[in-house]
Amino acid sequence: MSDIEKTGSQSNPVEIKEEELSTLIKELSIKSSIWRGPLPPPEILAAYKNIQENLPDRIVKMAE
């Protein structure tokens, strides 16, 4: 019988002190963006250059 079956919960294999936990979990933020049309806003399109140098050009060509 597993720990989950015995106790009804999963055991935590890593011990984390409460102070460390509060330091680790400060803030969680989620950001989403939605746009209409074939191209993202210019700042988003420019950020694709960080992934691959010619990616913004490829995206624009695909939309043409």
| The two three-digit tokens of residue 39, written as one number | 């191209």
Q: Where are the alpha helices (DSSP H) in the chain?
A: 3-7, 18-24, 42-47, 55-63
**Token match 């700042």: residue?**
43
* pLDDT, tens only, 6-31: 555 555 567 777 777 777 776 677 88
pLDDT band for position 1 (50/70/90)? very low
Rounded to an integer, what distance in angstroms lies between the CA atom of residue 12 and that of residue 7? 12
For the whole prediction, is pTM greater than 0.75?
Answer: no
Q: Where are the domains of the chain?
A: 3-63
